[in-house]
Amino acid sequence: MSATHFNTRNDTFRTLMGNGFTYWIPRFQRDYSWTEDEWEDLWLDLQGTIKEGGEPAHYMGYLVLQSHDDKFFEVIDGQQRLTTISLIVLAVLKNLQRLVEEGKDADRNTMRSTQIRQTYIGYLDPVTLVSRSKLTLNRNNDSYYQTYLVPLGHLPQRGFRASEHSLRKAFEWFDRRVRDHARQRGGDEGVSLATLVETMSDRLFFTVITVTDELNAYKVFETLNARGVRLSATDLLKNYLFSVLHRGDQHEHEMKALENRWENMVGRLGSESFPDFLSVH
C-alpha cells in the first residue's frame, strides 16, 4: 500500500475522542457482543492503570479506521472496544448524575458531568434533546444507544434484540463497578469519578491504522492477520460488500434478504472457514 492510502499512529482514548472527531460503525458490522468475561478483563486492566503505582499506560491493540474527511471516521475494526469504553464513561456520568440528584456538591458535579460528556460522548441538542454523539453504532444497536444510554434515561428491558440487552447489561455492570470504585476511594466521590475518566483516557492507548477506502482496509486486515493479530475476515468482507451494495438502489427489505442469505451461508461454513472457502472458489 502506498503511503498516501495508509497511516499508523499511537493515540490515547482522549486523543481519539477529542478535536471534534466522530466515529461511525458501519450498519452491517457485527452487533455488540462482549460479555462479562471481556468487561471484567477490561475493568481489571483499567484498575491496573489507576491504582497508586500502577502501570503508566495500557495497550488496547489495533484500531482500523477508514477516513471520510479529517474529522469523520468509519470503524473497520475495534468497535467492541470503543463501544465498551464509551459505556464506562456513561457509567461515570450516571454516577455523577446521582450525586447531583442527592445534592452532593451539585454545582461542581454538574460542571464535571457537562465537561466529560462534551469531551467523550457528545452533546444533547438543547432544543430537540437529540444526542449528537461522537460514536454512532451499527443499525441494530444505535437506536438503543442514542435513545436510552446516552441520555442516561430509564432502560427498558422488553422488546429488544439480544445485542441491545448486552449493551444494557454492560452499562449496568460498569455502573456498579464505577459506584463501588468511587465509594472505596473515599473522600470526594465526584473527584474520584472525574479522575477515573481522565486517567483512563490518558493511559489507554491504541495503534490506529487509517486507510482511505474499503479495499485498503482489507489489505490492512491481511497484513495484521499474517502477523498474528486476530481480526474477523468474514466480518470485514461482509462490511465491504454490503457497503458497496448499499450505495446502490437496493431497498431495505432487499438488503435484509441478502443479509439473511449471507448469515445462512456463513453459518453453514463457519466464520473461521469462510475466507478460505472464498479464496478457493
> DSSP string covering 107-135, please?
HHHHHHHHHHIIIIIEEE-TTT--EEESE
H or E stretch at 62: strand 58-67
Q: How far is Cα 16 from Cα 8, in angstroms, rounded to an integer? A: 13
Question: Which one-letter DSSP state was computed for residue 159?
Answer: S
Note the pLDDT of residue 105: 96
3-class DSSP state of 152: coil
Note the pLDDT of residue 240: 63
pTM equals 0.82
Note the pLDDT of residue 222: 64
Q: How far is Cα 193 from Cα 188, in angstroms, rounded to an integer? A: 9
Contacts of 8 (CB under 8 A, 6+ apart): 207, 208, 209, 210
Cα–Cα distances (Å) from 243 to 236, 252, 270, in that order, read 11, 13, 22
Segment 125-177, tens digit of pLDDT: 777 777 689 999 998 999 999 999 999 999 998 889 999 999 999 999 999 99
Q: Is the dihedral of CA 169, 174, 175, 177 positive or negative?
A: positive
Segment 171-205, tens digit of pLDDT: 999 999 999 999 998 889 999 999 999 999 999 99
pLDDT string in tens for the chain (281-residue length)? 444 467 889 999 999 998 889 999 987 788 999 999 999 999 999 999 988 777 899 999 989 898 888 889 999 889 999 999 999 999 999 999 999 999 999 999 999 999 999 999 997 677 777 768 999 999 899 999 999 999 999 999 888 999 999 999 999 999 999 999 999 988 899 999 999 999 999 999 999 999 887 666 666 766 666 555 455 566 666 666 666 665 555 566 676 677 777 777 776 666 666 667 766 65
